[in-house]
Amino acid sequence: MKDTEPGKSERRALITGATGQDGSFLAELLLEKGYEVWGMVRRSSVGRYERIEHLMGNSRFHIRYGDMTDAVSLVRLAADLRPDEVYNLAAQSDVGISFEVPAYTAQTDALGTLYLLEAVRAAGLEKSCRVYQASTSELFGGSAGIPLGEDTPFHPRSPYAAAKQYAFSICRNYREAYGMFISNGILFNHESERRGENFVTRKITLAASRIAHGLQDRLHLGNLDARRDWGFAGDYVECMWRMLRHPRPDDFVIATGRQHSVREFCSLAFRYAGMEIAWRGAGPDEQGVDKKTGRVLVDVLPELFRPADVESLLGNPEKAVALLGWTPEKTSFEKLVRRMVEFDMKYVLK
């Protein structure tokens, strides 16, 4: 696999959502591969660039303002930059919060994707520019223990998933209708020490670290039985890049093929933070107690349950293994949890 096209010394990539978890890892990867990288960021009254601050001094990394809800800004960006590759990662990505801001989620995640594809077309790039769309395992709405693959029907269970279903479909439609190179990455949950603090994994590793240092009393969680196929974000962004190096546009499931419950994630994170949890009680009365002291470390709050939840997600990454050379569980579940706790044990003291 060549890193550069023949006759071209440097490819130019535009990343929407560059300040997010995946955007920051992807920007690092593309810079390592010799790309000129343009990150789209939105204006904020506070500097919110901590995930990409370390890239700011790189002469091949640039930022431009834009917003997925502002079609004009996307048209201008595509026309000015004329990118070879666009990675559409920008989204209101919190499933729980999408129940509270459903229309904004649809505007950003669904219509925003349409605007971006139209911007690529308006710039006359439909034959040259390759587009990656951040699709999601949330589209499936659950797996009931059966691994989910590219042919599994969708059943979105949140405004977020419904918006992402539109984005997935419009990407496929533009691929078929206009012959554009657009690939959907159907990514299962991927985490890291850069994960937003609302997502359950980071909420747990931060809380375990704060509790270990005496900075927090206990952790409140919702559905402890939810099961996810959790991988490491740094591994997953490599697949995004590989999808655009593949000879044909296509849709790919990226997953580890293993799943764990929220409860299991919790037990492991607290263990790495120096505490062994024993679980007692059931349903809303369930508690995680410190085996040594009997102190309650984790409890369940009914208000943290979603109006509809995806109970179980398990992916079948066979196609990506065969066609993209993807290695599932490159970073194991245990390594991922340890990495996040090790980071947060220091982070919470800053």
Q: Which residues are annotated as a binding site for NADP(+)?
A: 94-95
Q: Is 260 in the site for ligand G4F (CB under 6 A)?
A: no
Only segment of 74-82, 168-176, 194-202, 269-277 that touches ligand G4F (CB under 6 A): 194-202
Across 184-217, b (16+ Cβ under 10 Å) vs e yields bbbbbbbbbbbbeeebbbbbbbbbbbbbbeeeee
Q: Tell me the CB-side half-sphere exposure of residue 284, using CA atoms within 13 A.
A: 5
Residues 66-95 that bind ligand G4F (CB under 6 A): 93, 95
Least Å distance between CB 96 and ligand NAP? 12
Cα–Cα dist 97/94, whole Å: 5
**Which of 350, 205, 194, 203 shows the shortest CA–CA distance to 273?**
205
Among 188, 230, 241, 252, binds ligand G4F (CB under 6 A): 188
Question: Are the C-beta atoms of residues 286 and 222 closer than 8 Å to each other?
Answer: no
Cα–Cα dist 168/307, whole Å: 24
Cα–Cα dist 255/230, whole Å: 8
Least Å distance between CB 294 and ligand G4F? 23
Q: Is 254 in the site for ligand G4F (CB under 6 A)?
A: no
- Type and span of the H or E element at 332: none
Nearer to ligand NAP, 67 or 251 (CB): 67
Three-state SS for 56-119 is CCCCCEEEEECCCCCHHHHHHHHHHHCCCEEEECCCCCCHHHHCCCHHHHHHHHHHHHHHHHHH
> Pick from ligand G4F, ligand NAP, none: which does 82 bind, CB < 5 to 8 A by kind?
none
The set of residues, in sequence order, having a beta carbon less than 8 Å from that of 137 and lying 6+ positions away, is 148, 186, 187, 188, 189, 229, 253, 255, 313, 315
Least Å distance between CB 225 and ligand G4F? 9
Identity of residue 123: A
Q: φ, ψ for residue 312 (rounded to 5)?
A: -150, 130
Nearer to ligand NAP, 134 or 212 (CB): 134
Does residue 318 carry a catalytic annotation? no
Least Å distance between CB 250 and ligand G4F? 19
Chain contacts with ligand NAP (rule: CB under 6 A):
16-17, 19-23, 42, 44, 48, 67-69, 89-93, 108, 134, 136, 187, 189-190, 196
Only segment of 74-82, 132-140, 269-277, 283-291 that touches ligand G4F (CB under 6 A): 132-140
The single residue of 16, 136, 201, 331 carrying the catalytic annotation is 136
- The gap from C-alpha 161 to its chain's centroid, in whole angstroms, comes to 13
Q: Is 225 in the site for ligand G4F (CB under 6 A)?
A: no
Does residue 138 carry a catalytic annotation? yes
Only segment of 11-19, 171-179, 223-231, 340-348 that touches ligand G4F (CB under 6 A): 223-231
Least Å distance between CB 285 and ligand G4F? 16
Does residue 19 carry a catalytic annotation? no
Q: Which residue has the tokens 């005496």?
A: 214
The single residue of 28, 36, 85, 138 carrying the catalytic annotation is 138
Token digits for 239? 């697949």
Q: Is 138 in the site for ligand G4F (CB under 6 A)?
A: yes
Residues 262-281 that bind ligand G4F (CB under 6 A): 262
Active site residues: 136, 138, 160
Judged by the rule CB under 6 A, the positions of this chain that interact with ligand G4F are 93, 95-96, 136-138, 188-189, 198-201, 203, 221-223, 226, 228, 262, 304, 306, 309-310, 313
